[in-house]
Amino acid sequence: MSKEFSRILPGLLGSLSEVLQLDLSLNQHRGEYEDSLCLHHYPVTKRVERNPAHKDFGILTLLIQEHNESSNGLEIADLTSTDAKPSLDINDNARFVPVYPEADDIIVFVGISLKRLARKAQFTPGVHRVVAPPDSMPQTSRYSIAYFVHPDARTKLDGKGETAGEYLRRRRELSHISS
């Protein structure tokens, strides 16, 4: 599967670069060895929230999830419904919309790195979360596969200053302090 994503990414990133009118193609910022493929398993739980609201760090996240007749718990924040900025504040204040994947769908999330590389104010990373099904629905495990497309660690995210590697290190340190 990783090979298939690697095969389609140059075209996807090239097209996105053209649409965003970037000086350099996103392919030139991508750290192929920085990408990661992850299998996520969310077991049945009594907790309502399986994964709290968050934005992904990378350039893009490509998400494949199992198809079923109802939402499998993935929800996307309607950012027009809140003025909150940090993801955790959005979690408490925004309206979330369930995602109903069809067979063979790939959901694409814009990451924080893409916003910083593009330097476009209207370009907002997608805030999303995973919740347990409502009590009226069967309580089942959830599986998804995420392919995280990351910039090279040496890439300067705003053209000067902080690199992707420094930013990621700083964010990890902050998350360990708060947990």
Strand locations in 29-78 (E): 36-42, 49-54, 60-65, 74-78
Domain of 171: which CATH number?
2.60.120.330
pLDDT of res. 177: 54
Average the pLDDT over 133-161 and give the result. 82
* pTM for this predicted structure: 0.84
Predicted local confidence at residue 94, as pLDDT: 83
Tell me the residue range of the domain where 110 lies: 2-178
The 3-state DSSP class for residue 164 equals helix
The mean pLDDT value for 23-44 works out to: 84
Taking residues 145-159, report their average pLDDT: 88
Band of the pLDDT at 179, cuts 50, 70, 90? very low
pLDDT at 109: 92
How many domains in the chain? Answer: 1
Would you give the DSSP letter of residue 148?
E
